[in-house]
Amino acid sequence: MDVKEVNRRTIAQFRAGGDIEGMQRDRLILLTTTGRSTGARYTTPLMFHRDGDRLLIVASNVGAPKHPDWYSNLRKDPHVTVEVGRESYPALATPLRGDDRARTWAMLKTTYPFFAEHELGTSRVIPVVALTRM
């Protein structure tokens, strides 16, 4: 499977406003980060969970040993763009810490059991990131 091609197709389908092959539109955002080395803008489709005024995303990378590129990018520059539904807006990406992360991670693993499987596949702590509209 060519992940870049799947992402390109998903982004195009999302922006066209129709069905998204193999995904639930109401659980999907497009996150645009700035490349930590290149300075280029990169857009990644991601599942999200709404938590009050913030959106939560998980850098599980399907249990891979390293963080996904989008997470490494937002660690360098937390100013991102979020596309959700028909809206697009600037947001601040903040990795959760301490008790907030622990409680939120436990809830996410209960709500979406595949995250617990991802956790079993890696020795790294899987980041949970809050996206807050600016």
Q: What is the pLDDT of residues 74-121, one digit of tens each?
A: 999 999 999 999 899 999 999 999 999 999 999 999 999 999 999 999
pLDDT at 19 over 80: yes
- pLDDT of 1: 67
- pLDDT of 14: 93
> Helices in 77-134 by DSSP H: which ranges?
98-111, 114-120
- Range 17-39 burial, b when 16+ CB lie within 10 A, else e: eeebeeeeeeebbbbbbbeeeee
Residue 65 per-residue DSSP state: S
* 48 in Cβ contact with 56 (< 8 Å): yes
Nearest Cα to 116, choosing from 129, 124, 102, 106? Answer: 106
pTM: 0.94
Question: How much of the chain exceeds pLDDT 90, in percent?
Answer: 88
> What is the rounded distance in angstroms from the CA atom of residue 134 to the CA atom of residue 128?
19
| Cα torsion 42, 11, 59, 97: sign | positive
At residue 22 the predicted structure's pLDDT band, cuts being 50, 70 and 90, is: confident
Cβ-based neighbour number of residue 105 at 10 Å: 20
Across the chain, mean pLDDT equals 95
> What is the rounded distance in angstroms from the CA atom of residue 30 to the CA atom of residue 11?
7
pLDDT at 21 over 90: no
Higher pLDDT, 101 or 2: 101
